[in-house]
Amino acid sequence: MPSGLIDAIFSAEAPYFFTGAGVSTLCGIPDFRGPNGLYRDPDAARMFEIELFRADPSFFYSKAESLVYGSGGIRPGPVHRALAALERAGHSRGVVTQNIDGLHERAGSSPVFAVHGSPAVHHCLGCGDAKTFDEIAAIRGGVPGAVPRCARCGGVYKPDITFFGEMLPEEAFNGAMALADAADLCVVLGSSLTVHPAAQIPLRTLRHGGRLAIVNRDETPYDGMAAFLEDDLKAFADGVMARLEQAG
Ligand SMILES: [Zn+2]
């Protein structure tokens, strides 16, 4: 049980959390690169290509069903809930996530800096009209693979997920870096810290004199720099909830 780490979170002045795919696979969302990863399906690997989206958006909307739209079945998991609870108790300054499933937002965390974008908002490629995740779900009417179109101009809505060939969302990235620079503790959860430039965000906390904790099933390139190293995300989430209950 990672109680040393939980002590450190409770005593930190400005802790934040950096999350990756491991946090979402706990809720049944397929990983991209893992053994059962989505990218083992060569077709699925193309779903985030922006040129393909422009040419045929139905490809994305049919392939992304389980990953992004959840067919109604995907809910925030134990880590999402633990981070939202830590925040309510005053023990989190924010969440930086590499995930694009919007589950931290749905669990109630705020601020969430989604450095690879998020489906919380969709924009019409024709006129720029913005719609929320729920509005898009209503337009699609629960039809698998349905392409949501703009009532104003007939354009296709695209989620604000960063596709291959697109710029990273500047606002989220800048917000994440400001959080990292001001923090005294970065807790990495379920990320192998191999996708750049996002993986550099926890390093900024180290460079500014903060500490690094890593909870991940597999090794990361930064394990040697971590003050706390754990491998069980579920145990971490359970430990947090138990401690919050104790603290009442
Ligand atoms: Zn439009």
In tens, the pLDDT along 70-125 reads 655 678 999 999 999 999 999 999 999 999 888 999 899 999 999 999 998 999 99
Domain coordinates in residue numbering, the chain = 1-28+75-116+168-248, 30-73+131-161
Cross-strand pairs, 164 = 49
Distance 148 CA to ligand 1 centre (A): 11
Distance 28 CA to ligand 1 centre (A): 33
Quick one: fold of 1-28+75-116+168-248?
Rossmann fold (3.40.50)
If you ran DSSP here, which 8-state letter would residue 155 be given?
Answer: P
Distance 120 CA to ligand 1 centre (A): 18
- What are the pLDDT digits (tens) for 139-172? 999 888 899 999 999 999 999 999 988 998 999 9
104 part of the active site:
no
For residue 236, give Cα distances in angstroms to 1, 62, 156, 232: 7, 34, 41, 6
For residue 216, give both structure tokens: 């991940």
46 or 6, greater pLDDT: 6
Distance 175 CA to ligand 1 centre (A): 28
Residue reference for tokens 């400005």: 14
Distance 69 CA to ligand 1 centre (A): 21
- Catalytic site residue from 116, 122, 123, 196: 116
User: Full-prediction pTM beyond 0.85?
Assistant: yes
Distance CA 239, CA 235 (A): 6
Q: List the one residue out of 56, 66, 51, 9 whose CA is nearest residue 210.
A: 9
